[in-house]
Amino acid sequence: MSLLESLAPSRFLFRRKRYRPDLASQWQLMWWKFRRHKMAMVGMALLGVFLAMTLFAETISPYPPGQRNPSYVAGPPMLPRMIDETGAVHLRPFVYGSKAVRDMVTLRMTHQADISQKWPIRFFVRGTPYRLFGIIPTDIHLFGTDEGFVHLFGTDFTGLDLFSRTVHATRASLGVALVGVTVSFILGAAIGGIAGYFGGWIDNFIMRLIEFIRSIPTLPLWLALAALMPRDWGPLATYLAITTILALLGWTWLARTVRSKLLATRHEDFVLAARLSGCSDARIIRRHLLPSFLSYLIVDASIAFPEILLAETSLSFLGLGLREPVESWGVLLFAAQSIRAIDQAPWLMIPGVFVIIAVLAFNFVGDGLRDAADPYSKS
């Protein structure tokens, strides 16, 4: 460190942000507190991976999600190896080739590793052309093979690569959750803000409405709303409708948080001081009320995220949410429902692991944010 500093041409280039709590803003203090929460940092890293998967799905997946591999139908996951059958270490990971074998008991064609063939895995290979972000034409994929094929998570009964599909499904799953949370957030902030600001019978009415909405069992309600959607709607329309349904039911938590925080901060001394200083209502809301509960709203949103993610997955799993050809984790799991899938291709349940990881990651981050949300608390 000191060597680095002495070698540096200018101290400005290597100047680290010094620990100065007296000059630290609310967000700086929150970040310092958040950083101490190890699990939240892990969750944050996982969310970063998911974000990369949504942005670079085409690059990360070796094949387009709709490309069938007729020579590897319902094939098991192929494990990348660095040590071969003789114990020799290969610097470049490889997968064994595959050969079709007929199972003499069930008389079914199955795939087995063919250790006589090794297909080395190469990185940044050229493959199927696509447009990055829908604009930049390219054909670079993160990994792939020159000869043969690689299916990390195996393939389904039509020969589609499950890894590519799972990576692509991240986009729809997290997208629905993101849009749902955003709409919930806006609805919740507005409705909760109205309740807390006006008080009286308006507050009473909104609170009773929220209790009513919450008392309806969610799953039958989703089913009923989802069943209202015409079957002939396109994938995009279905996508939007599902998001709207989830958002329309998800705002109640946020509305309650906004209301209670508004009621709590409205009677703080510094708000009274601002009013006595001549601040307008708008300025008090903008400069004093909103900043003091915005962090709590972010916590609530991060906790609402997995709820909506799970809701979408459940709906799609039941066949009422998104449908093929849209990929979401729920859609992929829909294919893993049958006894046949569980018996003959259990790897089709791998997208479920992604759901679990995503929900846990959001919960960890939400936990960390909740601890960090009020950097001025005494504890």
Contact region for another protein (CB under 8 A) — 41-49, 74-82, 167-175, 264-272? 264-272
Does residue number 356 form part of the binding site for another protein (CB under 8 A)? no
Give the residue, chosen from 51, 82, 219, 272, that forms a contact with another protein under the rule CB under 8 A.
272
Give the residue, chosen from 7, 107, 135, 276, that forms a contact with another protein under the rule CB under 8 A.
276
Beta carbons within 10 angstroms of residue 315's beta carbon: 23
Residue 127 to residue 168: CA distance in whole angstroms: 17
Angle made by CA atoms 87, 93, 97, in degrees to the nearest 5: 80
Indicate the residue among 371 and 374 with the shorter CB distance to another protein. Answer: 374
x-or-dash string of contact with another protein, 173-212, rule CB under 8 A: -------------------------------x--------
Does residue number 293 form part of the binding site for another protein (CB under 8 A)? no
Give the residue, chosen from 79, 115, 224, 273, that forms a contact with another protein under the rule CB under 8 A.
273
Indicate the residue among 194 and 274 with the shorter CB distance to another protein. Answer: 274
Does residue number 128 form part of the binding site for another protein (CB under 8 A)? no
Q: How far is the CB of 22 from another protein (least distance, A)?
A: 3
Q: How far is the CB of 270 from another protein (least distance, A)?
A: 4
Does residue number 266 form part of the binding site for another protein (CB under 8 A)? no
Q: How far is the CB of 198 from another protein (least distance, A)?
A: 16
Residue 293 contacts residue 193 (beta carbons within 8 Å): no
Does residue number 379 form part of the binding site for another protein (CB under 8 A)? no
Give the list of residues 6+ apart from residue 301 with CB closer than 8 angstroms, or none: 181, 184, 185, 254
Q: Are strands 109-132 and 136-145 parallel, antiparallel or unpaired?
A: antiparallel
Which 212-241 residues touch another protein, going by CB under 8 A?
none
By CB under 8 A, the count of residues binding another protein is 25
Does residue number 263 form part of the binding site for another protein (CB under 8 A)? no
Residue 314 to residue 226: CA distance in whole angstroms: 12
Residue 78 contacts residue 95 (beta carbons within 8 Å): yes
Rg of the chain over CA atoms, in angstroms?
26
Q: How far is the CB of 194 from another protein (least distance, A)?
A: 20
3-state secondary structure (DSSP) of residue 30:
helix
Residue 97 to residue 108: CA distance in whole angstroms: 19
Contact region for another protein (CB under 8 A) — 135-143, 215-223, 268-276, 301-309? 268-276
Order of strands, edge to edge, in the sheet holding 136-145?
81-83, 89-102, 109-132, 136-145
Picking from 22, 328, 324, the residue whose alpha carbon sits closest to that of residue 165 is 328
Does residue number 17 form part of the binding site for another protein (CB under 8 A)? no
Does residue number 106 form part of the binding site for another protein (CB under 8 A)? no
DSSP letter string, 40-96: HHHHHHHHHHHHHHHHSHHHHSSS-TT-B-TTSTTPPPPPPEEE-TTS-EEEEEEEE
Can you give the binding site for another protein, defined by CB under 8 A?
21-26, 204, 268-270, 272-280, 283, 287-288, 291-292, 376
